[in-house]
Amino acid sequence: MTEEALMTFPSTHDAIGAEKVLAALALPGRLVATPERISAGCGFSMKFPLAETVRIQEGLTQAGVSYAEIYRIANNRTYVRV
């Protein structure tokens, strides 16, 4: 099973921007509702394979899209800040 990560955003605008950037760069990721256990400025988060974290961070940074935090999703559905 592939390890997954969750990226939070300061705003919905950033979350939608991230979705567009990932699609343009052919990087994996999909918007999901931010889990209640995570405090975030936006109700949307990006879920993606943990192994793609650096590529996604670089793509978003180059595109000027802000993100807040990145969490590894553990097997028991706990979120560990990366």
pTM recorded for the entire structure: 0.93
Burial of 6 (0-12, 13-18, 19+ CB in 10 A): buried
Which residue range(s) make up the domain with 43? 4-81
Q: Can you say whether the dihedral through the CA atoms of 14, 16, 19, 25 is positive or negative?
A: negative
The tens-digit pLDDT sequence of the chain (82 residues) is 689 999 999 999 999 999 999 999 999 999 999 998 887 788 999 999 999 999 999 999 999 999 999 999 987 789 999 9
Domain count, the chain: 1
CATH number, domain containing residue 53: 3.30.70
Q: What's CA 52's distance to the chain center, in Å?
A: 10
Give backbone dihedrals phi and psi of 56, rounded to 5 degrees, phi first: -70, -45
pLDDT value of residue 28: 97
